[in-house]
Amino acid sequence: MYKKRFDGRKFEEIRPTEAKAGIIKRADGSAMFTIGKTTALAAVYGPRELHPKFKQDPSKGILRCNYNMMAFSGSGDRVKPGTSRRSREISLVTEGALNPVLDLTEFPGTVVDVFIEIIQSDAGTRCAGICAAAMALADAGFPMKDLVSAVSVGRVDDKLLVDLNKEEEDHHEGAGVADIAVAMMPRLGKLTLLQMDGFVSREDLAKVLEMAKDACKKIYDVQKNALMEKYK
């Protein structure tokens, strides 16, 4: 029985969240997104020339994401620098999470690069990265249908909850853990990312996705306010 969360939060409560837009001055757009002890930075460059040429799309610009966890970001175990199977996958799903909102038809044959760096990690890094990247793209002035807000939800033992931290993610007692990364377009309420580690019943998944919806609304408000704050 998981009665009380390790950090004392309510089950549907996200960690303290903070965001800031325009932190990297030389980038075309940038943002920072912090949720609990997880912090992601995102910087956008482009549209620019795309090589190799066969990757160019003559109908629109393409989005290229690069997720990286910094060597000192983790729990003390050194993260091996450079690309890995994991970072490659997260880069790809981040592209998938952002592409539905982004409109690059104005920039055919080009590439827009988004670099995501995790400077502190305490679980939920791909979600924090997506939140930061969506803000950075908006900050760069690209036309977008909506923002993208992301959060991890899941099941720890017998309880459904939102925004797992590392301690919860690694909890092995009882029925174990299901860690579900969710990204959604807050206005439309549609999902752009759904991944899971572990297992969850059909009923629980439906319930936990409703919880994710509410959590994403809260995250959306933080993102929105941070973007507006830049011009206050």
Site size toward another protein (CB under 8 A) is 35
Rounded to whole angstroms, the Cα distance separating 27 from 46 reads 9
Q: How far is CA 10 from CA 28, 124, 218, 224, in A?
A: 38, 17, 15, 24
Q: Which of 24, 41, 50, 127 binds another protein (CB under 8 A)?
A: 50
N-terminal to C-terminal alpha carbon distance within the chain: 47
Q: Rounded to the nearest whole angstrom, what is the least distance from the CB of residue 168 to another protein in the complex? A: 31
Stretch that binds another protein, among 12-20, 40-48, 91-99, 115-123 (CB under 8 A): 40-48
Judged by beta carbon, residue 147 or residue 200, the one nearer another protein is 147
Asked whether position 48 contacts another protein by CB under 8 A, the answer is: yes
Asked whether position 90 contacts another protein by CB under 8 A, the answer is: no
Judged by beta carbon, residue 144 or residue 194, the one nearer another protein is 144
Rounded to whole angstroms, the Cα distance separating 162 from 180 reads 9
Q: Which residues contact 12 (CB under 8 A, 6 or more apart)?
A: 161, 162, 211, 214, 215
Residues that bind another protein (CB under 8 A): 28-29, 46-50, 58, 101, 103, 106-111, 138-147, 185-187, 223-224, 227-228, 231-232
